[in-house]
Chains A and B, each alone.
Chain A
């Protein structure tokens, strides 16, 4: 979604003039809109007194920031070492095949974003996938269809 100007202002106002709060304010915007729209970056640059190039530099350096809008559903596949040795790669490929997009991409209809992550720190549950914040422990490629159907269902409710 495009951020309403008033809401952006509210998010940046408390950090006005505090250059060292750059990451924090970007995190707040990311949490709220699930991406960093260009107008938000310009706003941040103006309010914090940081050059726009530096805002972009930070926004592109860290993985948790997205410069593209995210899908309505987010599928995160963990590829930490424990997940890797227990077949996480096959789980990711299962999602890729089902959704028809690669990791880091969003389906053309804007429904799903597929992400891979390097460890969620829940290695005892490996391999792990998180769909819309719901953790699916001991994932298999065969379960991908059911997990996506569940997310679809929950989205309707």
Chain B
């Protein structure tokens, strides 16, 4: 490999790419070429560096300085100043909120300091489109060891001893699954990677596939060897075009180097992998539904048992694991099960990746040891809610999970603790909510999602999710009765117990957990027709504070419904009958004026026009 004076690592994950990373990359390359320095400096596109909200990001190695929110026009200055003059460019560096000094190195950020990288070990440091870079960081060494120095049984034993559990949500012990499949007689057998990451708010699988595809592929080859499979499939969501492309490229490269195909590394072991693109159905993330989809049919789940390890693809024994689970396998084989089980808690070993998003200062992917407290993730790593607002709840586990209230932030993040608190690990989406998030609205959001994504095979889920969504819609519209709350709860219990697959069984969780911790909000909607978070449109109104209005006309011009009236320099009024509650007037009103407000209950707006008394507002 040629050595360079410096390498410019341009993050090429979906987040940075959508903010213009490729334009920045081109600008840097052109500038370097223009100066005739192609032999000195190399621009390398890398996988997701996980600090997505500050993209496009460039890290300069070996200095380790990172630059953020770059534009193509910053390229000449960056090269001249940093690379040639040796003067880092301060104004392109990151200044954390609530601090006034730049933080030049990623490792010094609170966001990264508390993380422990196992699965994301190569993030932002290798070019995912070059197998050589993966190999340079110990890639495929675990495979070499598994094929030459271990028997299939000893691979299974190592994974079992590590305590690795499925990262897709349910947390089933991976070693047990492999052992069950390995014990089935006959062939063929299959291994499958579940990359149908459908949980809204979770994107770690996309990131792993995009930024380190070989880690997943290596895990699959080792797993195939352990259970005796000759063929495998990577099922990847169609909404992740970059992941599909990178994995495709990685498979070609692995095949060229004899890491896939016949007689892998001269061991006599034959195995090959192919990509199956998902077609956009949340239920296909359920393992039996996913297998039906690979077979070319509708993604309908089926009754278990028999489990896929007994009867999977085309009726044959099949091991199906999540992307993150597979990516954990190579480090376990290479560094030993004792090393892995040294991380985490008694029952939940290793690390887990969470996508920390929502009302939080630092958003992105975080990989932390199991057993870390939720508070540490939200406050230390995430930097809390921006604008000095308070955390109200953290929603974990997507549509199958539940909300953990701020009062329980000290909970240990592991499979059992989250379950006991009414949530679940799920795939690891972690959505932070503040006072402006309405918990009834969130429950409705998830139930509408479940209703839409229910495949319709079993009645409890098909009819039950819709019935629950309708009850919630009635409550958010201000038409709820106390009896609706009772009906909602009993319906939730029924759907939970009677549904065929995980989608229906967990669909009521968002309702049950919000009713458990935020019953007062439900009651405010039902009894007082108020939405305390000022979200539910039927229960709020927009009003102009006559004391504060300066008559600037901005809100009148912004209103698409013509509901605001008032002359220049005189107090404006919103016609409540014409108002469509889009909120554009509030967005248009200058912060220093702050005359437009949301009020609840909606009828408070009528009183607001005649000055006091106001309803609750913010």
- Inter-chain contact A81/B200, CB cutoff 8 Å: yes
* A141 touches which of B363, B449, B587 (Cβ 8 Å): B587
Residues of A within 8 A of B (CB-CB), count? 44
Assess whether B602 is interfacial by the CB under 8 Å rule: no
- Inter-chain contact A81/B201, CB cutoff 8 Å: yes
Residue with the greatest number of chain B CB neighbours at <10 A, chosen from A97, A119, A126, A135? A119
* B14 touches which of A20, A58, A94, A122 (Cβ 8 Å): A122
- Inter-chain contact B15/A125, CB cutoff 8 Å: yes
Assess whether B336 is interfacial by the CB under 8 Å rule: no
Nearest first, the 10 closest Cβ-Cβ pairs linking A and B are A135-B18, A124-B52, A63-B280, A121-B203, A62-B279, A80-B200, A119-B200, A64-B280, A20-B296, A81-B201
Contact mask for chain A residues 118-132; partner B; CB cutoff 8 A; 1 contact, 0 none: 111111111010000
Determine the chain A residues whose CB is within 8 A of the CB of B616 once the complex forms. Answer: none
Assess whether A32 is interfacial by the CB under 8 Å rule: no
Would you give the shortest CB distance from A99 to chain B, in whole angstroms?
A: 13
Expressed in whole angstroms, the Cα–Cα distance for A121 and B587 within the complex equals 27
Determine the chain B residues whose CB is within 8 A of the CB of A20 once the complex forms. Answer: 294-296
* A137 touches which of B18, B358, B431 (Cβ 8 Å): B18
Residues of chain A at the chain B interface (Cβ within 8 Å): 19-24, 26-27, 54, 57-58, 61-65, 79-82, 84-86, 90, 93-94, 97, 117-126, 128, 134-135, 137, 140-142
Expressed in whole angstroms, the Cα–Cα distance for A45 and B357 within the complex equals 44
Expressed in whole angstroms, the Cα–Cα distance for A61 and B294 within the complex equals 14
- Inter-chain contact B279/A82, CB cutoff 8 Å: no
Given A20-B296, A141-B587; A117-B238 close (CB under 8 Å) = no
Assess whether B297 is interfacial by the CB under 8 Å rule: yes
Would you give the shortest CB distance from A95 to chain B, in whole angstroms?
A: 12
Which single residue of chain B is at the shortest CB-CB distance from A80? B200
Expressed in whole angstroms, the Cα–Cα distance for A81 and B453 within the complex equals 15
- Inter-chain contact B358/A85, CB cutoff 8 Å: yes
- Inter-chain contact A26/B395, CB cutoff 8 Å: no
Expressed in whole angstroms, the Cα–Cα distance for A24 and B233 within the complex equals 14
Given A63-B281, A118-B449; A141-B583 close (CB under 8 Å) = yes
- Inter-chain contact A27/B587, CB cutoff 8 Å: no
Expressed in whole angstroms, the Cα–Cα distance for A14 and B297 within the complex equals 19
Besides A64-B280, A82-B357, A125-B15, 18 other A-B contacts (C-beta < 8 A): A20-B295, A22-B296, A23-B296, A26-B279, A27-B238, A57-B297, A61-B455, A63-B280, A65-B279, A81-B357, A81-B429, A81-B446, A84-B445, A97-B560, A117-B239, A123-B358, A137-B18, A142-B587
Assess whether B276 is interfacial by the CB under 8 Å rule: yes
Determine the chain B residues whose CB is within 8 A of the CB of A57 once the complex forms. Answer: 297-298
Which single residue of chain A is at the shortest CB-CB distance from B449? A118
Given A118-B449, A124-B52; A19-B280 close (CB under 8 Å) = no
Given A118-B200, A118-B449, A125-B18; A58-B297 close (CB under 8 Å) = yes
Assess whether B126 is interfacial by the CB under 8 Å rule: no
- Inter-chain contact B582/A93, CB cutoff 8 Å: yes
Assess whether B282 is interfacial by the CB under 8 Å rule: yes
Given A121-B14, A122-B15, A137-B19; A22-B558 close (CB under 8 Å) = no
- Inter-chain contact A27/B239, CB cutoff 8 Å: no
Chain A interface mostly helix, strand, loop or mixed?
A: helix
Determine the chain B residues whose CB is within 8 A of the CB of A125 once the complex forms. Answer: 15, 18-19, 52-53
Assess whether B299 is interfacial by the CB under 8 Å rule: yes
Contact mask for chain B residues 284-322; partner A; CB cutoff 8 A; 1 contact, 0 none: 000000000111111100000000000000000000000
Would you give the shortest CB distance from B355 to chain A, in whole angstroms?
A: 6
Assess whether B206 is interfacial by the CB under 8 Å rule: yes
- Inter-chain contact B206/A121, CB cutoff 8 Å: yes
Would you give the shortest CB distance from B52 to chain A, in whole angstroms?
A: 3
Determine the chain B residues whose CB is within 8 A of the CB of A22 once the complex forms. Answer: 296-297
- Inter-chain contact A81/B206, CB cutoff 8 Å: no
Assess whether B60 is interfacial by the CB under 8 Å rule: no
Assess whether B364 is interfacial by the CB under 8 Å rule: yes
Determine the chain B residues whose CB is within 8 A of the CB of A126 once the complex forms. Answer: 357-358
Assess whether B359 is interfacial by the CB under 8 Å rule: yes
Which single residue of chain A is at the shortest CB-CB distance from B452? A118
Question: Could you write out 16 A-B pairs with CB less than 8 Å apart?
Answer: A20-B295, A21-B296, A24-B276, A27-B279, A63-B281, A82-B200, A94-B582, A118-B452, A119-B201, A121-B206, A122-B18, A123-B357, A124-B52, A124-B364, A125-B15, A125-B52
Expressed in whole angstroms, the Cα–Cα distance for A82 and B295 within the complex equals 33
Given A23-B293, A64-B279, A84-B445; A123-B355 close (CB under 8 Å) = yes
